[in-house]
Chains A and B, each alone.
Chain A
Amino acid sequence: EAQVTQNPRYLITVTGKKLTVTCSQNMNHEYMSWYRQDPGLGLRQIYYSMNVEVTDKGDVPEGYKVSRKEKRNFPLILESPSPNQTSLYFCATSGDRAGESDTQYFGPGTRLTVL
């Protein structure tokens, strides 16, 4: 079954305590990305990756890091979380044929609260 998994699904943490949200896909997709969702703002892209070892900033990259050492995994790292990073986070992946109607598959979401 085609899947995008995220862990953890829910996390409450405190300001400044480093955390990692993992994302894994079994569809052999090259493209992966992270979004955050906030009320009234829709989804905004944080980072994306076109392939292994190729990552780039989206619209709201400040305060986040990513890595893409393997095709299937794309972790999101918050080195020093702050309360304004409290949000719902989605990982997404899509097929490799740029220019076609490749559907972006979203993970189930991670609800993060930073106190």
Chain B
Amino acid sequence: AQKITQTQPGMFVQEKEAVTLDCTYDTSDPSYGLFWYKQPSSGEMIFLIYQGSYDQQNATEGRYSLNFQKARKSANLVISASQLGDSAMYFCAMREGLSSGSARQLTFGSGTQLTVLP
């Protein structure tokens, strides 16, 4: 079974509007972390935001927020006030076994290509 599922291969949003990118995950580990990365056309992977499984509040970083619904196993990324520079591929990723000090492997979804329209 897929551990990270991103069901939207492509999304379009009008500049200055908000957009939500979906991510669902599957794990039986009670201690895990969820990450979002941005990959522009230049290829680099840019860390955006992190949510721990025990965090009580949804994570926020500037225009990025993570809508964490633990019972539904979803960790959607919300980008407010979209800008043209937000056009990129966005990846959701998970790291399991936070409490055990185990290998810090990130498992990635297949990504969502976001295009911001002027």
Contacts and interface: CB of A to CB of B under 8 A. Distances in A.
Contacts of B102: 98
The A interface, classified by DSSP as helix, strand, loop or mixed, is strand
A56 B99 contact: no
Interface residues of A, number: 30
B106 interface: yes
Interface residues of B, number: 26
A3 to B, nearest CB: 12
B10 to A, nearest CB: 12
A98 B43 CA distance: 27
Contacts of B99: 99
A106 B45 contact: yes
A61 interface: no
Interface of B: 4, 31, 33, 35, 37, 43-45, 47, 50, 52, 91, 93, 98-99, 101-111
Interface of A: 31, 33, 35, 40-45, 48, 50, 56, 58-59, 88, 90, 92, 94, 98-106, 108-109, 111
